[in-house]
């Protein structure tokens, strides 16, 4: 059997911004270096339409928007200041990628883009990978017990099931150091 040559030109790294998600980033950076591929870093600001439908039954739509905005403003203020959440997260991811490039002396990768989008994480990961011509998706998942170890996280599992391109799912270390 003749194996086809694997040619990866662009990798999508999806992150939830957790401390543990850095483990998956190092896999993505190393693969980008090995294949001389561009790395797109994606964070999705999760919106829960089912929650919103339920909430609107208790408050008016304009009140719900005000509550969401206030929560975003509080989160933004707690982190850095008065810049938009997308901009803030984009800056954090940009700084992280630059610092990682310095720390990983033997790994040289290029960042083709840093994206912060709103929506359903599964839908956005699949959409952004397609729109950006990615040949691989790298993302992390938590394994936190025997049942959880047998199954990957729901977002990762749904991406794997629906993706038309390969997905590398990295088991993230547990917070307790497992």
Strand partners, 136: 11
| CA pair distance 108, 106, nearest whole angstrom | 6
Can you list the residues of the chain whose pLDDT is less than 50? 75-76, 78-83, 145-151, 177-178
Using one digit for the tens of pLDDT, what is the confidence trace for 48-82? 655 556 565 566 777 767 776 766 655 445 444 43
Q: What is the pLDDT of residue 58?
A: 64
What's the pTM? 0.70
- Tell me the DSSP string of 109-154: -EEEEEEEEEE-HHHHHHHHHHHTT-SEEEEEEE--SHHHHHS--H
């Amino acid at each position: 059997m003749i194996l086809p040559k694997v040619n990866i030109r662009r990798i999508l790294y999806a992150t939830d911004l957790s401390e543990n998600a850095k483990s998956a980033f190092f896999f993505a950076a190393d693969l980008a270096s090995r294949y001389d591929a561009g790395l797109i870093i994606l964070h999705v600001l999760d919106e829960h339409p089912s929650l919103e439908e339920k909430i609107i039954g208790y408050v008016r739509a304009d009140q719900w928007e005000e509550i969401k905005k206030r929560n975003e403003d509080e989160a933004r203020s707690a982190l850095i200041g008065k810049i938009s959440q997308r901009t803030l997260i984009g800056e954090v991811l940009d700084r992280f990628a630059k610092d990682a490039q310095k720390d990983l002396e033997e790994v040289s990768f290029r960042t083709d883009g840093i994206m912060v989008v709103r929506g359903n994480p599964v839908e956005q990961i699949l959409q952004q990978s397609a729109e950006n011509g990615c040949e691989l998706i790298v993302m992390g998942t938590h394994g936190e017990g025997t049942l959880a170890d047998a199954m990957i996280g729901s977002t990762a599992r749904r991406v794997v099931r629906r993706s038309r391109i390969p997905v590398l799912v990295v088991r993230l270390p547990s917070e307790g150091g497992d």
